[in-house]
Amino acid sequence: MRNLFIGIAILFMISCKNKEQRQAYLWPDLKPPVATQKEHLRMIHGDTVNDPYYWMYDYFGKGPDSTAVINYLKEENAYTDSMMTGTKNFREKLFIELKARIKEKDESVPVFDNGYYYYTRTEEGKQYYKYCRKKGSLDAAEEILLDVDQMAEGKPYYSVGGMTVSDDNKLLAYGVDEVSRRQYTLYIKNLETGTIYPDAIRNTQGDPCFAADNKTIFYTANHPVTLLGEKIKKHILGEPEAKDIVVYEEKDKSNYIGVGRSKNKQYILIVSQSTTSSEVKWIAAAQPDLPCQTFAPRKKDVLYDVIPTENKFLIRTNWNAQNFRLMECPLTQTTQDNWKEVIPHRADVLLEGIEPYRDFMVIEERKGGLMQLRVQNKKTGQERFIAFEEPAYAAGVNANPDYESNTLRYYYTSLTTPASIYDYDMNSEKSRLMKQQEVGGGYDKTEYVSERLTATAKDGSRVPISLVYKKGYKKDGQSPLLLYAYGSYGISMDASFSSSRISLLDRGFAFAIAHVRGGEDLGRQWYEDGKLMKKKNTFTDFIDCAQFLIDQKYTNKEHLYAQGGSAGGLLMGAIVTMAPEMWKGVIAQVPFVDVINTMLDESIPLTTNEFEEWGNPKDEAYYRYMKSYSPYENVTKRDYPNILVTTGLHDSQVQYFEPAKWVAKMRALKTDRNVLLLKTDMDFGHGGASGRFDYLKDIAFIYAFVFALEGIQE
């Protein structure tokens, strides 16, 4: 997905000065780069469009323009650095400030699985993690499975994913991405000897999965160019990759595929899913040589998940149930005509997930835009909700690998409450706080106020807003406010804590999340009303939320800032097209802004997967609708607000050339003297830096840009 990178890069600040004391940052009077224009005609549906910056696609093609692409991006970076040179010392102070809030020497809450306690720990000054375990007891000797600090030495980017241990606890399979394009190489480590086997499997999704025989590993193989997951393969330990067997091949390029082991360890589950339909296949984990079997054939507009238990399958599905319902079927009769309803559909509640145990079932559901956890005793049928008291928060099931356990581990956080891990005893019905994120610098949550507001959209829809500010924030229409949203793929933006954001709030800003259509914040219909031919609802919802905050005197147009990334970056591009006068500044991170050209090019990663999200522009109706909102298509001679655009050269989710082309076109046509900056990270991709601290430099840069516009220089 062109989803916003893990953590969501939301903004932040410290120590409020009176507005009268603020001095505007003096932007250097420099000439920005001027990108070369070359005629390139796109002709489709009787419509001819000249794309003068199409040549910027050339870097990964290594064609004649590849050097010109790099030179242009470097020129833009140099211009951005020069424009921001006066904020250099402030940025360094901000970085130190942000880093000081992170506990450098830390340890996660151990998770018990198959006889071992697993946890991660970090060391002072180190960027990465050590993955560790202890056998049987937390007093046992520590075993370091992977020392990522050591593995990542000398590498600008390093990401480890998909760690899984064999049933006999002797082998570790894991994926490594050193480029930031989410193409993982799988490795297998002998945990008894420390030896890493020569088995190295390239171009994978980073999702290895052991069968019960401790030697068979299932994984998803990606296409080397489109990065599309195409095949589920089976690797036998010690055999060359060339002998890996294709267990399943996906023919529908609009589907994502993946493989995993069921919680009760009995099944290997292969999932193929688009945004509108899905299909699950299974293999008995103890019989990995048998062919996979189809659980239920895919059907148009039917999504389903499978949750195996010891005596039946549970199925979460939207079959005749827009907000999903729970059904069950026998282990030997899995086709749809054997499904029996367990939890019915509810118009006001979205069934998000099921966490199975032998004696309990935990139901994750969303009501009124907020998550609920409902614990059901399977023996007695009794149910209990875990209570959450704040007006806006994020909560959900955490790591619970032990199917036999009677303890639920869940997380809770809010705009004012740091990330917290709880253990809930499902017999005694009591929660125990296991760990809460420690925030350096003396953070006191009682100094901050969180609110849940509701704006009315132009069509009458009620759009929730989650908001936080420090006590003393004046609602006089003169205070600065940063409004954030995403609004795509049905991803809900819950209100969570950010230690970095304190730097925003302490400098007098309010921070708000607009829960716009395109997410599932208010149920599946909320998503359906913000995609395809209704995509513009996402943009108008955001603008209506901004106007509501202005009307309610939280801010005004001279102090209102907007931020979003990836598909949320498309939102940023749309709002500067539709309502450029509303924003003092806009931060568009890795923005998906060249919608038509990307969706016409099926060689670009993710394009075919996302026809059901955006539409296929080869269909004229979709083409015309996309063209009416796509930011790149709608750049014209007009005034634009101050804009900071960020991207990564190796981004696999939103290719670098989308924001680069967009900026070049705005530079050529904009009629204002506002600031337009493009910052390209030449080493990283969609999620930015991989280390614990390096990404804070990007946050400090974004803060410094916003503070400069607001006249805050310390």
Q: What is the pLDDT of residues 626-664, one digit of tens each?
A: 999 999 999 999 999 999 999 988 777 688 999 999 999
Find the catalytic residue in 199, 506, 651, 681.
651
The DSSP result for 26-73, as a single string, is -----PPP-------EEEETTEEEE-TTGGGGGGTTT-TTHHHHHHHH
* pLDDT(413) > 70: yes
Q: Does residue 574 sit in helix, strand or coil?
A: helix
Which pLDDT belongs to residue 98? 96
Q: Where are any strands of DSSP class E within 51-178? A: 106-107, 111-113, 116-122, 130-135, 143-147, 159-165, 171-177
Q: What are the start-end ranges of the H helices in 552-644?
A: 567-578, 595-600, 611-614, 620-629
The number of C-alpha atoms within 13 Å of 203 and in the hemisphere containing its C-beta is 14
Pairing type for strands 481-484 and 560-565 reads parallel
Mean pLDDT of 396-404: 96
Backbone phi, psi, residue 512, to 5°:
-135, 145
As a whole number of angstroms, the distance between CA 77 and CA 679 comes to 5
CA quadruple 75, 76, 82, 87: dihedral, nearest 10: -150
The pLDDT of residue 10 = 30
Percent of the chain with pLDDT over 70: 95
How crowded is the C-beta side of 403, counted as CA atoms within 13 Å?
Answer: 12
Residue 15 confidence (pLDDT) above 50: no
Mean pLDDT over 404-431 rounds to: 97
How far is the C-alpha of 316 from the C-alpha of 327, rounded, in Å?
A: 6
The residues, any chain, with a CB within 8 Å of residue 78's CB and separated by 6 or more, are: none
pLDDT for position 6: 29
How high is the pLDDT of residue 453? Answer: 98
The pair of three-digit structure tokens given for residue 516, joined into one six-digit string:
């716009």
Q: pLDDT band at residue 181, thresholds of 50, 70 and 90?
A: confident
Identify the pLDDT of residue 522.
97
Sign for the CA dihedral angle at 607, 608, 613, 618 comes to: positive
For residue 60, what pLDDT is reported?
65
- Global pTM reads 0.92
Query: Quick one: pLDDT at residue 9?
Result: 33
Identify whether the C-beta of residue 5 lies closer than 8 Å to the C-beta of residue 681: no
- If we measure between CA atoms, which residue out of 329, 237, 263 comes closest to residue 113? 263
Answer yes or no: are the C-beta atoms of 264 and 280 closer than 8 Å. no
Indicate the burial class of 393 (C-beta count within 10 angstroms; 0-12, 13-18, 19 or more). Answer: buried
* 686 given a catalytic annotation: yes
Find the distance separating the first CA and the last CA of the chain, reported in whole Å.
37
Beta-bridge mates of residue 513: 466, 484
| Residue where the block lists tokens 């980017």 | 157
Would you place residue 61 in the very low, low, confident or very high pLDDT band (cuts 50, 70, 90)?
low
Confidence of residue 409 (pLDDT cuts 50, 70, 90): very high
Which letter, b or e, does each residue of 513-535 get, where b requires 16 or more Cβ atoms within 10 Å of its Cβ? bbbbbbbbbbbbebbbbbbbeeb
Catalytic residue, from 254, 492, 498, 566: name it: 566
Local confidence band at 709 (pLDDT 50, 70, 90 cut-offs) = very high
Residue 17's pLDDT is 36
Q: How confident is the model at residue 100 (pLDDT cuts 50, 70, 90)?
A: very high
Band of residue 303 on the pLDDT scale cut at 50, 70, 90: very high
What pLDDT sits at residue 186? 96
* Per-residue pLDDT, 220: 96
Specify the fold of 155-299.
Answer: Methylamine Dehydrogenase; Chain H (2.130.10)
What pLDDT is recorded for position 621?
98
pLDDT at residue 317, as a whole number = 98
Residue type, 192: E
Backbone angle region of 211, left / alpha / beta, with phi > 0 → left and psi within -120 to 50 → alpha: beta
- Indicate if the pLDDT at residue 7 is higher than 50: no
Mapping DSSP to helix (H, G, I), strand (E, B) and coil, where does residue 597 land?
Answer: helix
Q: What is the pLDDT of residue 653?
A: 66
Whether residue 119 contacts residue 132, with contact meaning beta carbons closer than 8 Å, is answered with: yes
Question: Helix (H, G, I), strand (E, B), or coil: what is residue 113?
Answer: strand
Is residue 651 among the annotated active site residues?
A: yes
| Helices and strands (H and E) in the chain: how many | 12, 39
> Of 166 and 126, which is predicted with more confidence?
166
- 376 CB-near residues (< 8 Å, 6+ apart): 360, 361, 362, 363, 382, 383
For position 371, what pLDDT does the model report? 97
pLDDT in tens, 501-520: 999 999 999 999 999 999 99
Element (H, E) at 702: helix 694-710
- What CA–CA distance (Å, rounded) separates 604 from 344? 40
* Active-site residue identified among 51, 529, 686, 698: 686
Name the average pLDDT for the chain: 92
Span 33-99+449-710 CATH architecture: 3-Layer(aba) Sandwich (3.40)
Inform me whether the pLDDT recorded for 677 exceeds 60.
yes
Question: Max alpha carbon distance in the chain (Å)?
Answer: 74
What is the percent of the chain with per-residue pLDDT over 90, rounded to a whole number? 84
pLDDT of 199 > 60? The answer is yes
Rounded to 5 degrees, φ, ψ at 659 are -65, -35
Domain parsing of the chain, residue ranges: 33-99+449-710, 155-299
Residue 606 has pLDDT above 80, yes or no: no
Residue 597 in this model has a pLDDT that exceeds 60: yes
Query: Which pLDDT score, from 0 to 100, does residue 691 have?
Result: 61
pLDDT exceeds cutoff 50 at 18: no
Q: E-strand spans in 300-345?
A: 304-308, 313-317, 325-329, 340-343
Cα R_g (the chain), whole angstroms: 25
Mean pLDDT of 592-604: 92
Closest CA to 575 of 656, 640, 481: 640
